[in-house]
Amino acid sequence: MLVREYQTLLDKKRKVILLSLKEEGNFPELDNLIKEIPLKYIKLLEDYFAVMVKKGEIKNVDPQTVAANFAFINFGYFLMKTRMSPSENVFPIDDFIEKNIKIFIESLQ
């Protein structure tokens, strides 16, 4: 669910995100606005992983590091799919979740 929601958000803001990457430094207000997207996602994930560690559901890991890694994987997927045409559909989201996110989650157990 966290992957799908984040990908949906990134897709909705796709043009602005790509523009901000291209124009980095030229529009400080845009830079600040765009950087809030991953920071909020990482904070949400950090809180989630902290609870899961406390409950003993996952290994005793640093929640901030794990959250950042999870966000990096997701943003990398977003960038990869934006560089491919929709008709290519080389790596559909269901495959991404099944093959990559599943491995990530298993590494925490």
Residue 64, SS3 per DSSP: helix
Give the per-residue pLDDT at 1: 86
How confident is the model at residue 63, as a pLDDT? 96
pLDDT of residue 43: 96
Distance CA 95, CA 83 (A): 18
Greatest CA separation found in the chain? 46
Place of tokens 């890991």: 61
| Per-residue confidence (pLDDT) for residue 85, from 0 to 100 | 59
pLDDT at 70: 93
| pLDDT for position 59 | 94
Q: Which residues of the chain have pLDDT under 70?
A: 85-89
pTM of the model: 0.81
- Residue 74, CA atoms < 13 Å, CB-side half-sphere: 25
